[in-house]
Structures are given as C-alpha cells and as structure tokens.
Amino acid sequence: MAKWVLTFGDGRAEGRADMRDLLGGKGANLAEMANIGLPVPPGFTITSDVCTYFYANGKSYPEALDAQVKAGLEHVEKITGRRFGDAQNPLLVSVRSGSRASMPGMMDTILNLGLNDETVEGLAANADDRRFAYDSYRRFIQMYSNVVLGLEHHLFEDLLEQAKDRRGVVEDTELDVEDLGKLVAIYKAKVEKETGSPFPQAPLEQLWGAIGAVFSSWMNPRAITYRRLNAIPESWGTAVNVQAMVFGNMGETSATGVAFTRDPSTGEKTLYGEFLVNAQGEDVVAGIRTPQPITEAARIAGGVAAPSLEMRMPEVFREFVAVAERLERHYGDMQDLEFTVERGKLWMLQARNGKRTTKAALKVAVDLAAEGVLTREQAVLRIDPASLDQLLHPMIDPKAERKVIATGLPASPGAAQGEIVFSSEAAEAAVSGASGRSVILVRVETSPEDIHGMHVAAGILTTRGGMTSHAAVVARGMGKPCVSGAGALRIDEKGGTLTVAGRTYRAGDVITIDGSTGQVLDGPVAMVQPELSGDFNTLMGWADEISRMEVRANAETADDARAAREFGARGIGLCRTEHMFFDEDRIVAVREMILADDEAGRRKALAKLLPYQRSDFRELFRIMQGLPVTIRLLDPPLHEFLPHGDRAIAEVAEAMGVDAEKLKRRAEELHEFNPMLGFRGCRLAIAFPEIAEMQARAIFEAAIEAGRETGAPVHCEVMVPLIVARADFDFVKERIDAVARELEADGASLSYQVGTMIELPRAALRAGEIAESAEFFSFGTNDLTQTALGISRDDAAPFLSHYVAKGLLPADPFTTIDRDGVGELVAIGVERGRATQPKLKLGICGEHGGDPASIAFCEELGLDYVSCSPFRVPIARLAAAQAAIRNAARQKEPAD
Ligand code: PEP
Ligand code: MG
C-alpha cells in the first residue's frame, strides 16, 4: 500500500534528510533530527505526493490517507501520553507546510490545533495556567479562521483592540483570563456571523480543514509568484507537517527563539540569534516585543540590558550550543534553527541550511573546509556562481524598499541610480560639470553613437532589445548595470519624457535600475558597495585547481583587458574589433571605409585605421603577457555603424572630401532590412579583402612589436566571423596567410593560428570540412541562437518573455543555451570538428560563456575554454569548476 504518511519522534523517524522531494525540507530535517536523537516534538509528515494527488483529483485525497493520518496521530499520542480531543489531557498540534525548496512565509501555518471549549479546560489544568490556555485558544481561532475559513485577519485584530480599549490597556499581555474568555466568545460569534456556521469544535474536523488549507496554499498568489521568481516547478507540491505542540509561553521557564550557527551577514563563527521568554514563535518575528540575544557576548556587544539565554537559562543554553554544533557538523553547513523551551526543556522545531550573504557564504565555505568538515570540492560546490555578482557590483541594499515601476531584462548586473538623460550628449554634459552628477542613459535602443554616453552613465536603460542587443553586450563589457527591453516604458525623446503606467518622468528625475533583476525603480534607493575578500581569492584558487576548462574574457579595450586579468581570465577569447572604433575620431574613419564606393577610397580609410588597430592590439598583447589573445576580424552589423542624421553624415562627408548628398544616397543604398543577417562578418572581407588584409597586418605588426618590447613571444589567434563553409573561411584565411608570409619574408618570426567562429547552423553542420583548414573553433552562440531559432537578437524582448512566462521555453535562449536545439548544433560542430582534427581547440564566446548552466553544457561537450565579459569571469571560473566536479561524478555513475 502506498505510504502517504511518515512519522518521527522519540529518537526515530521513517524519513531521512535526503527525502526532501517527498517530505519537503522541513519534514526531511525533522526526521533527520529525530534520527540522530535530538529533542524534536513527535509528529508526522503527509508527503508531497498527496499534494500531487490532491490537485490531480479535484482536491480530494487518496483513500488510504484517512487511516494513515489516524495512525500518525496515535503515534504522537503514544509518545506524548496525551490524546487528541481528550478533555483532560489534550494533545495539541501544529500544522505547517514544507516544500522541497524553502519558500519562507509563502504558505500557511496553524498552531494550537485541537483546542475547543472542552480541551481548553484540560490545557488550563495541565499547564496550571488558565490565562495561557485561553490566550492559546483565541490565537488558534484567529489563525484557523484566517487560514482555513478565509476570514480577514483584521476582523480579529479589531476585536482584540476593542477588548483592550474596554479594559483601558495597551498590551495584549495585560488582558486577564476573564477578558480572554470573553474574547474567545466574541471571536466565535464573529466566525458564525461571517461564515454562517459555528467555529468547528471537533479536533479531527479542524485537522482536515488545516491539511486542506495547507495544500490549497500551494496555489495561493503569493506562492505562485514566489515560485515564478525562483524558478520552482509547480509540480513539486508541498508536504504537510503535523507535530505535537510545545509551548514557549508557559511562564518564566519557557522561551522561544531562532538562531544561526554563524553570522549570516559576515559568516563569522559565532552563534547568532535571539529569544523571548514566555512567548510563542510568532512573537519573535512579529516585532511586538524586542527579542534578547542568545549569547552573553552578543548581549554585551549590543549593549542590551535584558539577560541573554546564556545567563537566564544556562543549562538550556549549554544544551542548545551542543545541538547547534552537532547539527552544523551533521549537515556540513551553517544552520538556521528554531527552538522552544517548555518549562526548562529544550525542543528543536526546525533546522535548515541558513540563508546568507555571498560574503558570508564564502567565509563559511572556506572555514568549514579549514575545519575539516568539507572537502575543497564540496566547499567550491557550496557557492552559487551567480551570487558572486553581489561582490563585483554595487547592489541595492536587500533591506531597502523597492518601488518597481517597470521590469525589463536583467541585461548587465549591478545596480545604479541617477538622473534620467535621454541622449549621450546630455549624459556627458551632466557628468562633466563640477558636481559630476550620476545619470542613467535612457534610450529606445543604443548604437555605437551612444558609446560616449554609455561610458559616462552610471547605468543604461532601453525599452527595446534583448539580452544580446547592442546595449546589453556593450554594457556587460563595460561592467555597467543595464536593463534592456523594458517595453512598458514609453520614451518621448523630443518631449524629454518617460512615461509608465500613467506616470511621467522628465530628464533630471532620479530613477534606479537593477541590472541583476531587470527592475526599474522610482527614485534613489539605498545601495551596498562591492567588496572582494581573502575568502573569495582562496575559494577561487581552489576552483581553478579543479577546473578542466579555462576561462577567457571577451575584451577589446585596455580597461576591459586589465579588468579581465584582475578577475583571473586566462587570455582573451574574443576581441570584437568593430568595438575598437567607437571613439568619435575612429568611427568617422570606419564610416568612411564602409561608405567608400571604390577600393581606393576604402584603402584611404583603412590606412587611417591601421595605426589605431596596431597600437590597440599591441596594448592588449602587452596586458595579456603571453596569454592567448583571439582577435576577430571586423563584424560590424551595418545598422550599428551607418551614420544616422545629417550631422553624422556631414562629418563623414568632410573627412572623405565628398558631397554630403552623395554620401546620404550611398548610406541609403546600404540600408538593410535585416542587418543582423546582412552585410556583416566575413562577408565584408569577401567583398573587400583589403579590410581583412589591413587587420591581419595590424595584428601581426603589433605582435612583433609587443614581443620585442616584453621579451615574451606573442601567440595570436586570428578569427574569422560568420562563415558558412570551408570555402569562405579559406578565402579569408589565404589573405591572412599572405600578409604573414610577406612579413616573414622581411625577417619577422610569427606564431599564429587562423580559426573561425561557428555561429551559423550551416557552419556547425559542415564543421568536419571546416576543421580541415581552421585551427580552432569558437562557438558564437549569440548568432547561432538567433539563426537556429529564427529570432532577431535585437527584436526578441517583446515576445520572448511570453514564451518564458508561459513555460514554452525553459529560459531566455540568449541567456541560457537552448540545449536541445542550439546545443545540438554545437554538439554536432564539436563532434564533426574533432573527427577531422582530434586536438582541435574549441571554445565558446557567445554570452552563454558566462552563464553557469551553459558552462555546465560546455563541460559536458569537452570544450577547452569559455569566454565571457570581464565582470563575469569569476562567475565562469567557479561555474567551470563546479561543472568539472559534477561531470566527473556523472561519468562515474553506472550507466542505466
Ligand atoms: C556570437 O554571435 O555569439 C558572438 C560572440 O558574436 P557577436 O555577439 O559579436 O555577434
Ligand atoms: Mg556573432
């Protein structure tokens, strides 16, 4: 027969810690604590399978459940020596939800269940405290009526206030037993008036009502939203824990409290917690009374007059410290504990891994490894790579209130606040003043013309564009917070307004953006600044020892390259040369090159670009000091580079010495309908080989000069973008080799490889032939995603979010690689490439190279490196180590 109910208590349990899928986190940990002999009030857990059954069968229960719940109650009755519903010696229980993933405060809890007009007298006699019994009863009616009967909480709060007013008192505790007795009667009358039925007196009816309410709370709007935000599947369901009540409010020798085994904000090894004498758990969190510190040390440090638990109940304190240490060793992690002391006896109500800041997480992991509780591998697995972002960028103070006005895509992490500006010129003007104001550049979308504005802005907000749009890619490269594709915002550039949900913001109004969540917030919000600790370096060092893949950076400026090295990049995996022309004087030369209508014109522009390129490359080689540097030939999506507006056209016309009107016509001729699928990538070098030749010359000459200067030989990797076959690759490679031969003929010695991006489906499919002449592959999963799914990178935001929200795609495929589709193309590319050239060097340089889930996929495919924007390098290093550990463990598992 299916087992729907598992019991625990008295040093034994039918469940275990590793059964959290079935028992939920709380149930599994209660079972585990019982198993290791800790004092846990006895109880039973109704499994999450019942929740699944409940929703699959019109909110009904499996037939055998009734008998199993009864048996569970008998188990508790036997251990406690009390009986459920007994007038003399009543058993009271708590009913709590508990799902696989922690969902704090999202679902419901009921305490003191089993109280009625008769059992309240039994409780009074047993506790020798009538006031306590009636206070428990009125709390129970209040909680049950709210959670199970759906009555508003305030109905009862109002009645409680009226009772206090009648007595002329302020505190709940000032009501005496008479008052509470009357209040119970008033509460019951209210329930009957509101629901048409009397408050249920039969304990079993109460219990089933509570069980149903907990299962139903899995689908309450709070829980649904929390699951959506935390990617918790609905199918997991919740378990229900029914447990004997213990009372922290049975007088001065009773207490209740919460504690962390280490400080959750710093990770310091010190018991950190608070308690209240003569109180129930909810009083500690409700903030009505001020809880006292648990340890003397904390009491003294906090200058608190009220005694600590250590002073007030020294025996209990010693036992609690021993339990806390034991639990931490048992679970190998910092614990978050809830306990109650009932008349001098300690009871553990909950133990779970404690939530903590990233800084604390690093300290705890490194310390636990030093204490021999964890291996280094286990310590490395403990840190969520994405959480490292907290250390690298300023972020919104977790305690601050957020007034969210819109949500876009979390395009580049970190938070920033500043005055709204609608143009790059306005951004520069605001920032250049003596006061150096902080600005948020707000645009429909950005283009290379905005680079100077992006550079000075504290953050970037766009209303169009996806995770690989210009704004997103450039902001990530700069390490600047960016929210892209916030479609609910309406920008009126001319009027200088930003409108959302009927509210209008003007230039100069302050907003805050959170590039880690995609939120746009009203006004300034409190921030916390980044901080890299010694623990960070220790743990990252362990990660690097464990990793198989290397982590390189996507970087093209000296600042990016330096940041990349500081963050531990092992070279540059992608230098997007088109990004090196964003400075105003250079972009004119690039435009000149693009708009030239003959080779002579182009060569003239190229001659202007060559020295810039050469000195930039030389600088990159110098900073990278012998580490590999992959330089990609130009890949300028034309719409990002063509001049917009008369002023820009006039500038280029002047530089070229041609008529502005003629140039305008040429720009119009070059206009494309689908620029991301247009005249970009190697197509440029195929039409105009002199462009590739200039770039090859600049790269090789820079390598020679840097090698001479530093004495460290430079090995460069020249990369061809957007090829579809061996033929187009070879065409470009021949031009590059010819330049090298020419320089070698002049006595230079060069070490270089020519490889290619694999970023179009056809290239992935023909990887076998391409590997006959390409010396490395770098998977460009931005374009591969765009072309495999037929989704424009720049236009994805408005519809892609619907796919994700409706569960049609598990995640934004531009953020986390679509394993089944794009991933299969990468796998084909790997397999066919390596079939031709077993040692073919393989990397990834799409934005997925910085995404932990995608990095895990790269490890499974056996890539040699991932490359990502500099600020993601630490995340990628940690994710690469974790992927190596998990992949190795998987390979050891016996095949099915
Ligand atoms: C890619 O397509 O994945 C890539 C890295 O190139 P870009 O983003 O510059 O098109
Ligand atoms: Mg690309």
> Does the beta carbon of 556 sit less than 6 angstroms from any atom of ligand 1?
no
Give pLDDT, residue 114. 98
Question: Which residue type, as a one-letter code, is found at position 590?
Answer: V
Residue 632 Cα to ligand 2 middle (Å): 10
Q: What is the DSSP string of 39-86?
A: ----EEEE-HHHHHHHHHTTS---TTHHHHHHHHHHHHHHHHT-EET-
List Cβ neighbours of 108 (8 Å cut-off, separation of 6 or more). 97, 147, 213, 214, 217
- With a 6 Å cutoff on the Cβ, whether 412 touches ligand 1 is no
Taking 70 as the threshold, does the pLDDT of residue 287 lie above it?
A: no
Q: Among all chains, which residue has been given the structure tokens 């040429």?
A: 666
Q: Judge whether 848 counts as a catalytic residue.
A: no
Residue 575 is among the residues annotated as catalytic for this protein: no
Distance of CA 847 from the midpoint of ligand 2 (Å): 10
pTM confidence score: 0.81
Return the pLDDT at 24. 94
CB half-sphere exposure, 364, CA atoms < 13 A: 28
pLDDT of 436: 72
Cβ atoms of 666 and 814 closer than 8 Å = no
Question: Of 51, 575, 682, 845, which one is the catalytic site residue?
Answer: 845
607: confidence class by pLDDT, cuts 50, 70, 90 = very high
User: What region, left, alpha or beta, does residue 10 occupy, with left being phi > 0 and alpha being psi -120 to 50 degrees?
Assistant: left
pLDDT single digits (tens) 353-381: 888 878 889 999 999 999 999 999 999 99
Backbone angles phi, psi at 42, to 5 degrees: -65, 155
What is the distance in A from the centroid of ligand 2 to the CA of 788?
Answer: 13
Maximum mean pLDDT: which of 27-36, 165-174, 269-278, 593-602: 27-36
Q: Which two tokens stand for residue 257?
A: 């409290």
Nearest CA to ligand 1 atom 4: 780
Crossing angle (nearest 10°) for helices 584-595 and 645-656: 80
Tokens 């606040």 found at: 417
Cβ burial, residue 795 (10 Å; 0-12/13-18/19+): middle
pLDDT digits (tens, 9 = 90+) for 820-856: 999 999 999 999 999 999 999 999 999 999 999 999 9
> Is 789:812 a contact under the CB 8 Å cutoff?
no
640 lines ligand 1 (CB under 6 A): no
pLDDT of residue 251 exceeding 90, the answer is no
The two beta strands, 90-91 and 83-84, are: parallel
Are the C-beta atoms of 840 and 777 separated by less than 8 Å? yes
> What is the CA(789)–ligand 1 centre distance, in A?
15
Nearest C-alpha to atom 3 of ligand 1 is from which residue? 780
Q: 752 by DSSP, 3-state: which?
A: strand
Q: Which residues contact 740 (CB under 8 A, 6 or more apart)?
A: 696, 700, 750, 752
| Catalytic position from the list 75, 470, 639, 848 | 470
Q: What is the pLDDT of residue 614?
A: 96
Q: How confident is the model at residue 662 (pLDDT cuts 50, 70, 90)?
A: confident
Nearest CA to ligand 1 atom 10: 783
- For residue 717 and ligand 1, the question of a CB distance below 6 A is answered with no
Q: Using the atom order of ligand 1, give the atom closest to the CA of residue 635.
A: 9
Backbone angles phi, psi at 52, to 5 degrees: -60, -45
Strand pairing category for 93-99 and 238-244 = antiparallel
Assess whether the C-beta atom of 635 lies below 6 angstroms from ligand 1.
Answer: yes
Query: Ligand 1, closest atom to CA 845?
Result: 5
pLDDT of 285 strictly over 70: no
Q: CB under 8 Å to 69, separation ≥6 — which residues?
A: 5, 44, 46, 207, 211, 242
* Tokens 């025996």, residue located: 315
What are the beta bridge partners of residue 419? 439, 510
What local confidence, expressed as pLDDT, does residue 504 receive? 94
Closest CA to 438 of 422, 407, 452, 459: 459
pLDDT at 665: 87
Report which of 142, 104, 330, 350 is spatially closest to residue 241, judged by C-alpha positions: 350
pLDDT in tens, 2-26: 999 999 999 999 999 999 999 999 9
| Sequence-separated (6 or more) residues with CB below 8 Å from residue 588 | 651, 652, 655
Distance CA 174, CA 148 (A): 28
782 lines ligand 1 (CB under 6 A): yes
DSSP H helices in 457-598: 470-478, 534-546, 558-566, 584-595
Query: Which residue's C-alpha comes closest to atom 9 of ligand 1?
Result: 576
Q: What atom in ligand 1 is closest to the CA of residue 721?
A: 6
pLDDT digits (tens, 9 = 90+) for 463-479: 987 777 788 878 887 77
Strands (DSSP E) contained in 183-304 are 238-244, 255-260, 272-277, 292-293
Residues in Cβ contact with 188 at an 8 Å cutoff, skipping those fewer than 6 apart: 141, 198, 199
Q: 16: number of CA atoms within 13 Å, CB side?
A: 2
> How far, in Å, from the CA of 346 to the mean position of ligand 2?
62
Give pLDDT tens digits for 120-167: 999 999 988 999 999 999 999 999 999 999 998 889 989 999 999 999
